[in-house]
Amino acid sequence: MSGEENSNLNDAVTNMRAVDKALDEYEAECGLPLAVNPCDKNELDVYFSMKRDHIEKLSSEDCGQIAYRLSQVSFHLQRCINREQSRITWAKAKLDATMASNIHSFDKYMKHEVKVAAIQQTNSYAKKLGDIISYADQRSQRLTFLAASIKHLSEVMLANHRSKSYARAT
29-51 confidence digits (pLDDT tens): 999 888 888 888 999 999 999 99
Average the pLDDT over each of 35-39, 67-71, 157-161 and give the range with the smallest value. 35-39
**Can you give the pTM of this predicted structure?**
0.81
The pLDDT > 70 percentage for the chain reads: 95
The pLDDT > 90 percentage for the chain reads: 60
Specify the pLDDT at position 42: 93
Specify the pLDDT at position 2: 53
Q: Is the pLDDT of residue 1 over 80?
A: no
Specify the pLDDT at position 118: 87
Specify the pLDDT at position 7: 59
Q: Is the pLDDT of residue 5 over 60?
A: no
Highest mean predicted confidence (pLDDT) among 24-28, 61-65, 118-122: 61-65
Burial readout 6-20 (b: 16 or more C-beta within 10 A, e: otherwise): eebbeebeeebeebe
Best CA proximity match to 72, nearest among 154, 138, 163, 2: 154
Specify the pLDDT at position 99: 83
Specify the pLDDT at position 79: 92
For range 3-30, the mean pLDDT? 81
Best CA proximity match to 169, nearest among 60, 21, 13: 60
For residue 96, CA distances in Å to 90, 101, 135 come to 10, 9, 18
Average the pLDDT over each of 5-9, 25-29, 112-116, 118-122 and give the range with the smallest value. 5-9
Q: Is the pLDDT of residue 122 over 90?
A: no
